[in-house]
Structure 1
Amino acid sequence: MLTPENTVVGFIGTGVMGKSMAGHLLRAGYQLIVYSRTKEKAGELLEKGAGWVNTPREMAEKANVIFTMVGYPSDVEEIYLGENGLVKNGKAGSFLIDMTTSAPSLALKIFNAAKEKGIHTLDAPVSGGDVGAKEAKLSIMVGGKAEDFKAISPLLNMLGTNIVYQGTAGAGQHTKMCNQIAIASNMIGVCEAIIYAEKAGLNPESVLKSITTGAAGSWSLSNLAPRMLNSNFEPGFYIKHFIKDMKIALDEAEHLEMKVPGLALAKSLYDQLAEMGEENSGTQALYKYWKS
């Protein structure tokens, strides 16, 4: 059993979501060491007692459970499979849990490479944004070996409330693609509904009181539509990362010989926003498409 007494937890990526997630583990009494390309992002965790390492290699040598929450599949591949990465320098029997939304094929590649060294890996992307991360109410979708999921579940339970084992390596990432496909079209609907309300002369806040609890209800409608109305476009989840996710989903759908017109439309709109300089805004900034 992985307890605070026998576990050194590493966390790579202390951005909008990673900082909160790592903080939950630290407060639970686990020895925590962190790494981020920008050390300032880890400042709050360091002040609360987390240790710092200078490279993923150093972390692999010190920690026996390592979580990663970074930006892009290229980052994941470098951190895990690079010369100074976690797999090459990790200890047999250690656990590596990637919570980045990444490519299912890469999750399988990491799993196979780690297996040769006796290292356990799980792909465990999340949904719930900055609010879910802060409140430890994330949805976590997990791929890998069932026994590894069971072993690491006590730590995952500190990060989320809806934690589901989805199957073998890559299954967590495939499930996250389903999540992102559903969100993509839904965000268009949320924005169009708010803009329609405004143009019809309605009070959008009153409209939300009616439609958030009915058949139209969704997480985006309840949590992101109010941000739109308050002109709050700070990132709970960056547009640039959502575009990355949608590209992965489009590529996977192509491999499955599946048409995804809703997803394709959503990505085209977000691409336009990125070209307008909104790539570092939150996904709710899609509202600006109709305001430009």
Structure 2
Amino acid sequence: MLSINAKIGFIGAGVMGKSMAANLQNAGYPISVYTRTKEKANELVHNGATWKSSIAELAQTTDVIITMVGYPSDVEEVYFGANGILENAKSGSYVVDMTTSKPALAVEIYRNARERNISAMDAPVSGGDVGARSGTLAIMAGGDQEAFDTVLPLFDIVGENIILQGEAGAGQHTKLANQITIASNMIGVCEAISYARKSGLDPSRVLDSITTGAAGSFSLSKLAPRMLEGDYAPGFYVKHFIKDMTIALESAQEMGLSTPGLSLSLDLYKELAEQGDNDSGTQALIKLFA
């Protein structure tokens, strides 16, 4: 188990990462933070976090390093190379990538970390900005039981539904299954709202009826009201959902698995991005059904 004095390094302070780091900070852990754009970390630093000017400096001075960045290419940049985490983290430390990324990359990080006596886990999350702020994220972990048990106190602060799914890469595979589920569900939510409007119903009253029944989902209860309000602020970016779905589709194809719902959703979100909504929240999909 980690002591409350364990030094936590956090790389990435986006929509979700900033809230996750803040929750750890509020729980009493000393936090060091690095982001490519320092301004994104200003709030954390103002509240007592220590700013580090490089990944190497952060890695050399912390016991657990958590990464929450954008794309697999960002994960590679952060972990590998002379100035990356693995070349600079202390022997006996723990690294946890909570980015949604490629399962094969998670395995590569794990193997390279083990050669340096560093414990690595992949632990992507689900729950969006709401879950990140409230500390109720679902955490899907891959890696060794010992590493999981050690960092569990940190997971307990940022999440609620926390499950070790298996070996390295298992967390990423589980998150991709999560994204595949959401992909088709978002289409259904948009079609349901469009149907309610077309039939002359009040979509808000329809949501009151269907969110607690068999159709209930996070997308229906949390994102559908935003659709009705025309609120397209990102709890989770369209561009990042496209990234996730692309990884999931590639992984499915590698396994010889057909995923027609995923393929359709990916095509629709690409169309949405081409219309200028790359940086909108995923609920902006409703625009295509207006």
Q: TM-score band (shorter)? A: over 0.9
SS at match of 1:157: helix
- The equivalences for 1:17-36 within 5 A come to 17-36=16-35
Residue 132 of structure 1 aligns with an amino acid whose one-letter code is G
CA distance in 1, matches of 2:151, 2:213: 37
CA distance in 2, matches of 1:258, 1:109: 24
Structure 2 spans left out of the alignment, 5+ residues: none
CA shift, 1:94, in A, is 0.4
CA distance in 1, matches of 2:82, 2:231: 41
Residue 2 of structure 1 aligns with an amino acid whose one-letter code is L
SS at match of 1:158: helix
Number of the residue aligned with 2:84: 85
Runs of 4+ in 1 over 6 A off after TM superposition: none
- The equivalences for 1:193-272 within 5 A come to 193-272=192-271
CA shift, 1:73, in A, is 0.2
CA shift, 1:4, in A, is 2.0
CA shift, 1:83, in A, is 2.0
CA distance in 1, matches of 2:22, 2:171: 23
Aligned-CA RMSD value = 0.6
Residue 276 of structure 1 aligns with an amino acid whose one-letter code is Q
Residue 177 of structure 2 aligns with an amino acid whose one-letter code is C
Alignment TM-score, normalising by the size of structure 1? 0.98
Aligned-pair identity in percent equals: 59
CA distance in 1, matches of 2:101, 2:82: 20
1:161 aligns with 2:152: no
CA distance in 1, matches of 2:99, 2:26: 22
CA shift, 1:184, in A, is 0.1
SS at match of 1:114: helix
1:39 aligns with 2:38: yes
CA shift, 1:290, in A, is 1.3
SS at match of 1:33: strand
CA distance in 1, matches of 2:287, 2:108: 39
CA distance in 2, matches of 1:232, 1:17: 18
Residue 85 of structure 2 aligns with an amino acid whose one-letter code is L
CA shift, 1:2, in A, is 1.1
CA shift, 1:29, in A, is 1.0
Per-residue CA deviation, residues 159-182 of structure 1 (Å, 9 max, x unaligned), is 001000000000000000000000
Residue 63 of structure 2 aligns with an amino acid whose one-letter code is N
Per-residue CA deviation, residues 14-62 of structure 1 (Å, 9 max, x unaligned), is 1100111000111111110001111111111111000001111111111
CA distance in 2, matches of 1:57, 1:116: 18
CA distance in 1, matches of 2:130, 2:19: 9
1:69 aligns with 2:68: yes
Residue 33 of structure 1 aligns with an amino acid whose one-letter code is S
Number of the residue aligned with 2:121: 122
CA distance in 1, matches of 2:105, 2:169: 8
Residue 116 of structure 1 aligns with an amino acid whose one-letter code is E
SS at match of 1:188: helix
CA distance in 1, matches of 2:205, 2:105: 45
1:11 aligns with 2:10: yes
* Aligned pairs, number: 290
CA shift, 1:88, in A, is 1.0
